A and B are shown apart, each in its own frame.
Chain A
Amino acid sequence: MRTAILKLMEKNSRIDFQDVADMLDTDLETVKKTVKEMEDEHIICGYHTLINWDKEEEERVTAMIEVRITPQRGRGFDKIAERIYNYPEVKTVYLMSGTYDLMVILEEKTLKEISHFTSNRLAVIDSVIGTTTHFVLKKYKDHGTILAEPVDERMAVTP
């Protein structure tokens, strides 16, 4: 039941709980209770809106920064990750396998702000050995959703 609810809410966090109950053949109370439990257990960590900022006038720059670091004795990568993810402008931090250690995704208004963050916030942390910054040029698909508007081109009535 939990997984089924999560799958529906992952696609649409605004889905009506009564609809969820109907779709999963259960009752409203069960759905409400399960969601509440999952919120309490921090399985559901928040409700976001997927926005295509490109269509809004406001300028946004997204950067993906690869960060290489030396892990600290006894604390591994977690402590350094924490120092990075506490910045509110940091949207995402992942620990990665491969040629670098942390993937940091940053959203800012201008390129200048991003470069400022990289040079004055990230690079100065002792354990950070190096960074590589990539800028996102265009978003096609985000969170499993294709950003172009879907159209139903089927004929209205077919046998």
Chain B
Amino acid sequence: MKNLLSDKIVNIAPSGIRKFFDIVSEMPEAISLGVGEPDFDTPWKIREEGIYSLERGRTFYTSNSGLVELRQAICDYSRRKYNLDYNEKECLVTIGGSEAIDIAFRAILNPGDEVIVVQPCFVSYAPCVILAGGTPVYLNLSVENGFKLTVEELEMAVTDKTKAIIMAYPNNPTGAIMTKEELEPIADFIKEKDLVVLSDEIYSELTYGCDHTSIASFPGMKERSIVINGFSKAFAMTGWRLGYALGPEEVMEQMTKIHQFAIMAAPTTSQYAAIQAMTDCDKEVEEMKESYNQRRRYLIKAFERMGLECFEAKGAFYMFPSIKEFGLTSEEFATKLLEEEELAVVPGSAFGECGEGFIRISYAYSINELKEALSRIERFITRLREKK
């Protein structure tokens, strides 16, 4: 066969994380701080609802856009928590936030449209833009600004072909958040330039010291925002594969069309369980969040003692320390750390060019695991410093 594969797909590089995962999986003794998912189990009351829905024989398809009770619950939750005003027609239940990102781009992009991809970021944004026929334009954030987005940076990236911007706060991999005051000028800029914003807010429940603000909550932003969220992080439901998108009805209609042809509907069991998450899990989320915050502070202090430079991350469950002093690339650093100390972390470069010089450390681990991992990092960097 002459031309078995699609050039478009072949030209997309595989995720840098995947490459690293393959090395780690060959090392059964290695410990890891590389996981992007909670260490908690899904709260039992949510699991119980899932089991109950199976017992009741609810094994049918739901409507394409998701159970109306769930969409209603999502809208109520978003109103209560983030001051967002959506109805169930402006809500689509998807297979995780990932699917929502994919179909959102496919619903809004025309060939040649540029999308500003704010980096460092989750690995799927740029590939999804390319798959949807758009052109990603990378905006590299800087640690000097605490990895927050500024209007000046946006000015530099925007062209007359710019259609949309994708950003994620609280951020994976940096742990940065943006406050209401910091988001406001961004919202103004987006309105002024007549852009669409895809705001991936999957870590919205995990902010420490201040509440999350959604960019869609500013006046005049709702009609140009697609909010991506889901159940994986806040409710420790990664394996249930359930997320959602909120946005203008006309966009949701087109997204639903793609979802309908590609997916049909999100898993029914997960949807029933998720109603419980939306309506009766505030206490459980609060407890998990407090636990993450304790580990976050623990890591901040530990890095301070090691003299490892790290800006104070206030969201998600990641820290993004700088490893520039060692004169290694982040991939070299991570590989050496894995070989010498059997500890896996993710090189910052997996999240975009400007992640170079950093490593991502997840604190979705118990204090004892963190303690052991930190002692390995300390040994490792002490050796590196001695060699210099």
Contacts and interface: CB of A to CB of B under 8 A. Distances in A.
A52 to B, nearest CB: 18
Contacts of B295: 23
B298 A156 contact: no
Interface range on chain A: under 10, 10 to 19, 20 to 34, or 35 or more?
10 to 19
B25 A156 contact: yes
A154 B302 CA distance: 25
Interface string B281-302: 0000000000000110110111
Nearest to A7: B290
B35 to A, nearest CB: 5
Given A19-B367, A23-B367, A154 B35 contact: yes
Interface stretch (B14-22, B139-147, B256-264): B14-22
A130 B302 CA distance: 58
Nearest to A8: B294
B340 interface: no
Given A19-B367, A23-B367, A157 B297 contact: no
B179 interface: no
Contacts of A158: 17, 21, 34-37
Contacts of B186: none
A24 B122 CA distance: 30
A157 B371 contact: no
Contacts of B21: 155-158
B297 A24 contact: yes
Contacts of A155: 21, 25, 35
Interface range on chain B: under 10, 10 to 19, 20 to 34, or 35 or more?
20 to 34
Which of B15, B39, B295, B298 has most chain A Cβ within 10 Å? B298
A156 B369 CA distance: 13
Which of B35, B122, B172 has most chain A Cβ within 10 Å? B35
B17 A159 contact: yes
B344 interface: yes
A156 B338 CA distance: 12
Nearest to B124: A159
B166 interface: no
B30 A152 contact: no
A19 B298 contact: yes
B121 to A, nearest CB: 10
Given A158-B34, A158-B35, A159-B122, A25 B297 contact: yes
B20 A157 contact: yes
Nearest to A23: B294
Contact of B37 (A15, A24, A154): A154
Contacts of B172: 159
Contact of B17 (A22, A154, A157): A157
A159 B123 contact: yes
A157 B294 contact: no
Given A157-B21, A157-B34, A22 B123 contact: no
Interface string B318-361: 00000000000000000000000000101000100000000000
Contacts of A22: 297-298, 300-302
B277 interface: no
Interface of B: 15, 17, 20-21, 24-25, 30, 32, 34-37, 39, 122-124, 172, 294-295, 297-298, 300-302, 344, 346, 350, 367, 371
14 contacts: A22-B297, A22-B301, A23-B295, A23-B298, A24-B294, A155-B25, A156-B34, A158-B34, A159-B15, A159-B17, A159-B36, A159-B122, A159-B123, A159-B124
Given A8-B294, A157-B35, A158-B21, 9 more contacts: A22-B297, A23-B297, A24-B297, A155-B21, A156-B25, A156-B344, A157-B32, A157-B34, A158-B17
